[in-house]
């Protein structure tokens, strides 16, 4: 009986250890997801910036703005699960109405920019993205 209890305690301990490990793995997946969305936004903004400054040929200006707009639209799903960590501050979920409003504005501006670029090419110019407005408030700065 003592041996059985010992075994049960052992199983319970293992289950207790396993549960937070699984939770951490899932959290990492959620953080990876939104960081990958942000990486795409970052690389597309860098490409568009170089095109706007005529450092590289701008034939694909509209295509990169379209990719940016679609990625911005995908960001909301990535930030839905409340998992504080990575560079995300807890205030994202504490002030979710404001955070989502800012994200909606980004989607709107990027989508309008992509539509303009499809009609006018690079002459449409770079839309006024609001990256900083959100990053200043909701992103943990790397020291």
Interface contacts to a second copy, rule CB under 8 A: 26, 29-30, 32-33, 36-37, 39-40, 42-44, 46-47, 50, 55-57, 59-60, 63-64, 66-67, 70-71, 73-74, 77, 80
Q: Is the dihedral of CA 89, 91, 92, 94 positive or negative?
A: positive
CB of 141 to a second copy, least distance (A): 21
Q: Judged by CB, which is closer to a second copy: 81, or 139?
A: 81
Q: Judged by CB, which is closer to a second copy: 109, or 137?
A: 109
Q: Judged by CB, which is closer to a second copy: 5, or 21?
A: 21
Q: Is the dihedral of CA 127, 121, 111, 87 positive or negative?
A: negative
CB of 53 to a second copy, least distance (A): 9
CB of 97 to a second copy, least distance (A): 21
CB of 86 to a second copy, least distance (A): 14
Which single residue is written with the structure tokens 């490409």? 47
Q: Evaluate whether 122 touches 58 at the Cβ level (below 8 Å).
A: yes
Which single residue is written with the structure tokens 């400054």? 53
Burial class (CB in 10 A: 0-12, 13-18, 19+), 61: buried
Beta strands in the chain (DSSP E): none
Q: Judged by CB, which is closer to a second copy: 76, or 137?
A: 76
Quick one: DSSP state of residue 88?
B
CA distance 125 to 57: 14
Q: Judged by CB, which is closer to a second copy: 10, or 59?
A: 59
């Amino acid at each position: 009986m003592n041996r059985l209890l010992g075994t049960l305690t052992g199983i319970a301990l293992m289950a207790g250890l396993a549960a937070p490990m699984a939770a951490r793995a899932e959290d990492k997946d959620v953080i990876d997801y939104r960081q990958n969305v942000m990486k795409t936004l970052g690389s597309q903004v860098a490409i568009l910036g170089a095109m706007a400054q005529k450092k590289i040929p701008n034939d694909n200006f509209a295509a990169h703005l379209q990719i940016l707009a679609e990625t911005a639209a995908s960001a909301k799903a990535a930030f839905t699960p409340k998992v504080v960590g990575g560079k995300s501050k807890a205030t994202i979920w504490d002030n979710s109405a404001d955070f989502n409003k800012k994200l909606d504005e980004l989607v709107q501006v990027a989508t309008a920019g992509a539509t303009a670029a499809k009609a006018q090419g690079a002459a449409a110019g770079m839309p006024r993205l609001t990256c900083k407005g959100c990053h200043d408030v909701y992103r943990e700065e790397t020291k």
